[in-house]
Chain A
Amino acid sequence: MTSNIGSQPDAATSEPAPPGSAPPADERVRKTSGLSRLLSRPEFGAMVGAGLVWLFFAIVAYDNNFVSWATTASILNRAAPLGILAVAVALLMIGGEFDLSIGSILGFAGMTIMVLITPSSAGGFGWGVWPAILAALFVALLIGFFNGSLVIATKLPSFIITLATLFIFRGLTIALTRQFTNRTQLGDFDEASGAALADKLFATQFTVFGSSFRVSILWWIAMAALATWILVRTKPGNWIFGSGGDAASARNVGVPVSRVKIGLFMTTAFAAFLVATIQAVQFNGSDTLRGFGLEFQAIIAVVVGGTLLTGGYGSAIGASFGALIFAMVQQGIIITGVDGDWFQVFVGGVLVIAVIFNNYVRQQAAKR
């Protein structure tokens, strides 16, 4: 450090320079290469990981046509719903909180739509598709608000609160659906009024290079882009990093930490609603167990994507690559004909490797 207060004794700043010599150059500045800057990006690990996983299956499953547009389409179609959830969960986890209830919110939102549009002769309400979707959106945001408010008000870990709401809303989904319709599965989405437009928006397929890509991929990309923009280029984005990095410090400098966190819980609930809607249209119905276990897959995708479990650091792009890795492993296992029973072993293995790798990369980055 070069002191620009001439009269100040040098002892307060850096090594005393020999008298009469030119002021020394700042000895602490070191040229950092572009590579080390790239290494310090949170999503770097997941990008490299995605490349490696792809390469692995491209070699192992080459004969099974892994390197093809058809397989690429399958992977992306598979990754999209998880990616939408993971992007929202990434924001929440950067903000320092967990949401274990998104799978249940997804199930609840899906069944809300289906029960509302089911004809009253079958125990439903006979609504049109759009009012039902709006109602599900409202309900999902309300659940998110409830989750967030409860976390803020009780000061309990969100892990516990949302573990409770995981059970509450899964239970409510099952109980209420049975109560109204006496069933656990509802179909015939396409028979309700307004289904055609919903189908266009949420379940269109595009044929590119002879393979069909679902419109949900575009939803995913849009969510990832929006989340990244919010995170790195807006005021609320800075607040999210601050709230997750150190809530007390952030509060001290005037960040509305409680509002930020409640907003993030509503964001994950929104993502669950969006996936619920996409799947209800795509599968022409829903069932009471829809979304079961997705909360863990989303957290895995986010962590593989380089976001810190303790908050304050991470990226939405990384989470998207995490979802992509997840889908590649799934698809790779399916087409190579490996017993699907082994899938979870793979996922767990990838998670451990990814976390160790990310930790290593982050430590290297901190040393630069």
Chain B
Amino acid sequence: MTSNNTPLLEIKNVSKFFGSVIALQDVSAFVRAGEVTCLLGDNGAGKSTLIKVLSGVHKASEGEYLFDGVQQDFSSPREALEMGIATVYQDLAMIPLMSIWRNFFLGSEPTKGWGPFKRFDASFAKETTTEEMAKMGIDIRDPDQTVGTLSGGERQSVAIARAVYLGAKVLILDEPTAALGVRQAGVVLKYILQAKSRGIGVIFITHNPQHAYPVGDHFVILRRGGIYGDYAKEDLPLEQLVQMMAGGADLEVLKHELEQASEQGGKDAAAYAATADQIKSELHEIGMPDDEGDA
């Protein structure tokens, strides 16, 4: 899976401070063309701040930002976008009341005609939208339907297809699967692979190791604003990723305590058991081995 060795986008020892708050401390990461780098971290790990630094919303307080090996100093997302660094935000991807083709070209409308008769080339826009979506493996029913009628996964997919079509070299995806069901998330993961196979460097931000592992080439785990781990896929089995992601040791303790509590019986037993079951099923969901079988 490795292509040429120069990273397309790289940050080196980046820190970001908000007053006395250290949001990021000494974070380094990179993505190569045609690879997927996953940034994983629980809530509060510093993912959002890192995305904003990467997409040009925030300037890093310290550290380097390299694009194609050249030092960059973006002062707006617009500048990053012009270099080909496109960010797709989880909830800001699309405008629900507008049709798919209008959304697809919003801000980059193709025009035809001359002078005062210059107009938005609607037929080209509709055709291209349908074609580009087909290339991503999405068969849209009708480019005229509003984005509001699409499912969450489809919206993310349209946003990804748009970024790819508009010439993104690096695609930053902010929790694209977070609000989605299993199947919908699968659809989005498929488009991440599509983008990758088209030679785009993808930075995939998520808190879900189950989503990251199948598509990622490289994993950077954030904890409390710093780097907790940085691995190539070969060096990292899924179980280890899950453990690190969740702060495995802490969870083991919690799991153990809850089980003990439920075994103690007493009048609170039912309540404890219910809680324990819930936690266990959650652990199971994020891939923690469940040593008791069915609870």
Known: A245-B97, A252-B89. A238 touches B109 (CB 8 A): yes
Q: Which of A2, A229, A254, A312 contacts B98 (CB 8 A)?
A: A312
| Interface residue A242 (Cβ < 8 Å from any Cβ of B) | yes
Which residue in chain A gives the minimum CB-CB distance to B94? Answer: A249
Which of A5-13, A57-65, A120-128 is found at the contact surface with chain B?
A5-13
What residues of A have a CB within 8 angstroms of the CB of B87 in the complex?
A: 252
B41 CB, min distance to chain A CBs, angstroms: 23
Q: Which of B102, B146, B186 contacts A366 (CB 8 A)?
A: B146
Which of B26-34, B46-54, B114-122, B277-285 is found at the contact surface with chain A?
B114-122
A298 CB, min distance to chain B CBs, angstroms: 22
> CB distance A3 to B95 under 8 Å?
no
Q: State which residues 231-275 of B face A: CB under 8 Å.
A: none
Taken together as a complex, chains A and B put the C-alpha atoms of A312 and B141 apart, in Å, by 23
Q: Interface SS of chain A: helix, strand, loop or mixed?
A: loop
> CB distance B102 to A234 under 8 Å?
no
Q: Which of A12, A235, A239, A245 contacts B186 (CB 8 A)?
A: A12
What residues of A have a CB within 8 angstroms of the CB of B106 in the complex?
A: 238-239, 242, 250, 253, 255
What residues of B have a CB within 8 angstroms of the CB of A12 in the complex?
A: 183, 186-187, 189-190
Taken together as a complex, chains A and B put the C-alpha atoms of A36 and B102 apart, in Å, by 20
> CB distance A245 to B96 under 8 Å?
yes
Q: Per-position contact with B for A239-272: 1 when CB-CB < 8 Å, else 0?
A: 1011001101110111100000000000000000
Q: Per-position contact with B for A293-334: 1 when CB-CB < 8 Å, else 0?
A: 000000000000000100011000000000000000000000
Taken together as a complex, chains A and B put the C-alpha atoms of A57 and B149 apart, in Å, by 39
Taken together as a complex, chains A and B put the C-alpha atoms of A1 and B137 apart, in Å, by 9
Taken together as a complex, chains A and B put the C-alpha atoms of A95 and B71 apart, in Å, by 38
Taken together as a complex, chains A and B put the C-alpha atoms of A101 and B189 apart, in Å, by 50
What residues of B have a CB within 8 angstroms of the CB of A13 in the complex?
A: 183, 186-187, 190
A17 CB, min distance to chain B CBs, angstroms: 15
Q: Which of A1, A3, A233, A246 contacts B92 (CB 8 A)?
A: A246
Residue of B87, B120, B134 with most partner-chain A CB within 10 A: B120
Interface size class of chain B, counting residues whose CB lies under 8 Å from the partner chain: 35 or more
What residues of B have a CB within 8 angstroms of the CB of A234 in the complex?
A: 118-120
> CB distance B107 to A11 under 8 Å?
no
Q: State which residues 103-139 of B face A: CB under 8 Å.
A: 105-109, 111, 118-120, 122, 134, 137-139
A89 CB, min distance to chain B CBs, angstroms: 19
Taken together as a complex, chains A and B put the C-alpha atoms of A28 and B249 apart, in Å, by 46
Q: Per-position contact with A for B138-149: 1 when CB-CB < 8 Å, else 0?
A: 110100001011
B291 CB, min distance to chain A CBs, angstroms: 27
Known: A2-B139, A254-B108. A366 touches B149 (CB 8 A): yes
What residues of B have a CB within 8 angstroms of the CB of A26 in the complex?
A: 139, 141
A68 CB, min distance to chain B CBs, angstroms: 40
Which residue in chain A gives the minimum CB-CB distance to B184? Answer: A12
Taken together as a complex, chains A and B put the C-alpha atoms of A239 and B107 apart, in Å, by 7
| Interface residue A237 (Cβ < 8 Å from any Cβ of B) | yes
| Interface residue B77 (Cβ < 8 Å from any Cβ of A) | yes
| Interface residue B81 (Cβ < 8 Å from any Cβ of A) | yes
> CB distance B107 to A250 under 8 Å?
yes
Known: A12-B186, A233-B122, A238-B120. A4 touches B95 (CB 8 A): no
Q: Per-position contact with A for B40-84: 1 when CB-CB < 8 Å, else 0?
A: 000000000000000000000000000000000000011001000
| Interface residue B93 (Cβ < 8 Å from any Cβ of A) | yes
20 A–B contacts from the bound complex (CB under 8 Å): A1-B138, A3-B137, A5-B190, A11-B183, A13-B190, A233-B122, A234-B119, A238-B120, A241-B97, A241-B98, A242-B98, A242-B102, A245-B98, A250-B107, A252-B77, A254-B81, A254-B108, A312-B97, A366-B146, A366-B148
If A8-B137, A245-B98 are given as contacts, then 13 extra A-B residue pairs at C-beta distance below 8 Å, sorted by A number, are A5-B190, A9-B186, A12-B190, A13-B183, A235-B109, A239-B106, A242-B102, A245-B95, A245-B97, A252-B87, A253-B107, A253-B162, A366-B146
Q: 8 closest pairs, A vs B, by CB?
A: A12-B186, A245-B95, A254-B107, A253-B107, A235-B109, A312-B97, A233-B119, A249-B92
Q: A: which residues have CB within 8 A of B?
A: 1-5, 8-9, 11-13, 26, 28-29, 229, 233-235, 237-239, 241-242, 245-246, 248-250, 252-255, 308, 312-313, 366
